[in-house]
Structure 1
Amino acid sequence: MKEKIYVAVVDSCEFTMIGLRYLGDREPDEHRDIVFQGFSNIESFLLSKRTWDVVIYDPLNPGNFMITPNEDILRIKEIQPDARIYIYSLSAGFLKFKHVDGVINKRVSLGDIKAMWQILMSQTPKSLNNYNVSITTQQRPARLSNEEASVLRGYSSNLKTKQIARQLGCNVRLVYFYKNSAMYKLKAVRGPSFYESIRWILN
């Protein structure tokens, strides 16, 4: 009888779930059956009663421009201490993630994703050995802070500076500081191309 591996996909984009399930079907394991379940946000996942072997998480949720990935990861670990946690997101290379088993950029090639999947499944369930998977594009990482990324997402959602400040619990001057700091890190330019790059990276 095959061992069952339970994989939770926490991602607001339904195509992630479709793609990963397709990949799992294309790369069958003669010893394991992979059971996927999708969750559109972290809150619905945290209500799940199942024990998960793998959690694949994209912290970029369009429902809220605020980004708190490391806090979310700690919440996942609290209720799923034995699960392997992988970030699968366009934010890979732009944000710094702690306490995860791997980081994969959604822009990597299908061949890289296939290799990642084989590595991921070979490490599941957790053994005494610790492994880490990191697959990103060749771009130079910007390493935005949560506040910087949240401010950019706020602007990309057409929020006003005062609205962003209210959500972050800070003053307008600090919002401008976060914006300018993020722009410097991204080596972005002012104008339409700047906002297009925000949408591509963080929306």
Structure 2
Amino acid sequence: MISSPEAARIVLVTRAHLFKPTYPTSKEKMIGPEALFFHQGAYHSKLKKLVQASFLPSAIRGSVSEIEQIVLRFLPSWKNTTINALQEMKRYAFDVAMISAFGEKQDLETEGIKHLYHSLEKGYNSMPLDLPGTPFHKAMKARKLLNETLRKLIQKRRQSRRQGGGLLGVLLGDTDNEKLNQLSDSQIADNIIGVIFCRS
């Protein structure tokens, strides 16, 4: 473990090539191998900048009223009852993460994405036994459907030339001024899944 800024700089910046984060293969399969957590170097740096750009105050300013509406929707269910604060905050954080990922104007597809994501989350910390009926197997099926749903949404936005807001809009808008360096659909999908997972 490290605690000083100098040590963190060595691990994350000046000598980053000497340190490689590793995750169980099952986690990588579930989040997606193109997610920034599983990479180092130029690809990681590029994605980190894009993800950070989508959470700048200027980027989220337009979503504040939508986030406020989420809170207002939750408040009646918290009135005059005992609540599980952790579970309620997770529900709230997930809805905010969806706005952060897809922008304040939600597409119909995002409702399906929410359902699939909850199935994925249930199997994330289960034993990685890919046998019918196990939580891991159900989660991997949800992951496959989630990937297909996200790819359709990505293609829809590409064809309409409407990038939209949120992280998806930022990732679709990044071309590095060269078509060759444009992020692929699988890179975008994996990073959307990964960011929602971390923020919720």
* Band of TM-score, shorter chain: under 0.3
TM-score when normalising by structure 2: 0.26
Bigger fraction of residues in strand: 1
TM-score under structure 1 length normalisation: 0.26
- Where relative contact order (Cα < 8 A, 6+ residues apart) is larger, the structure is 2
> Which protein is richer in helix relative to its size?
2
